[in-house]
Amino acid sequence: MKKLAIWSVGGGAVLTALCSTSAGAQPQSGAGGIYTCVDAKGRRLTADRPIAECSDREQRVLSPSGTERARVGPVLTDQERAALEAQRRKDAEERARIADERRRERVLVARYPDQAAHDAERAAAIAQVDDVTAVAEKRVAELRRQRKGLDAEMEFYRRDPAKAPMALRRQIAEQEDAVAEQQRFIAAQEQEKRRVHQRFDAELAVLRQLWAAQQRVPVPVPAAP
């Protein structure tokens, strides 16, 4: 049966392990090294295993020759351990975020090596929106031409529009709905253009910093033969 004992040595104390062994057997030290620490009472303790009196503080692990192998941190409570794990996860997420940001910056610079390339991409994106808007505007113009014909028919019923045929009134209502729908679509495309410009403006602000950083990187000079 193993027991622990504390012995005073040079004003301090030494914690040793005592083992009852069979006759002729010799006590052996643990293979994990020698643990040493200063406890809350100021005593220097030594043992062949982690020292319970120093569970709340750091312990040094020494080799048989006395050189330091490692350091063992204090034993954490469940709450402290959970907080430590949460902090580690947060740190890992932050490292992953930074790595992803650097990757996206490299992709951005590779895609737009200068502002001319970025401006060309912006112009192409805006042109696509303008093309779609032009189709809608053409449809509105066509609907308005059709409306003139319907209005000409309604002229016969100007004094009493209620006498106009139901089919004619339905055509006018459908035509008005179609014009309103196209106008809403055109307004949405204008918003899309603003979003495109905002996206390219944000990219350009980042790219200007990246381009400037590239110019500050010194170019290595080849060694003379």
Going from N- to C-terminal start, the domains of the chain cover 2-20+31-72, 77-111, 113-216
Read off the pLDDT of each residue in 184-189 and give the average, rounded to a whole number. 97
pLDDT at 8: 38
pLDDT at 168: 85
pLDDT at 81: 82
The answer, yes or no, to whether residue 33 has pLDDT greater than 80, is yes
pLDDT at 2: 41
Say whether 198 sits in a helix, a strand or coil: helix
pLDDT at 161: 79
Flag the least confident range among 29-38, 174-183, 208-217. Answer: 29-38
Rounded Cα distance between 48 and 34, Å, is 5
pLDDT at 164: 82
Q: Quick check: pTM over 0.85?
A: no
The answer, yes or no, to whether residue 15 has pLDDT greater than 70, is no
Instruction: Identify the burial level of 207 via C-beta atoms within 10 angstroms of its C-beta, where 0-12 means exposed, 13-18 middle and 19 or more buried.
Output: buried
pLDDT at 153: 82
pLDDT band per the 50, 70, 90 thresholds, residue 222: low
Sign of the torsion formed by the C-alpha atoms of 125, 128, 130 and 133: negative
pLDDT at 84: 85
Q: What is the amino acid identity at position 27?
A: P
User: For residue range 166-177, what is the model confidence (pLDDT) as tens digits?
Assistant: 888 898 899 899
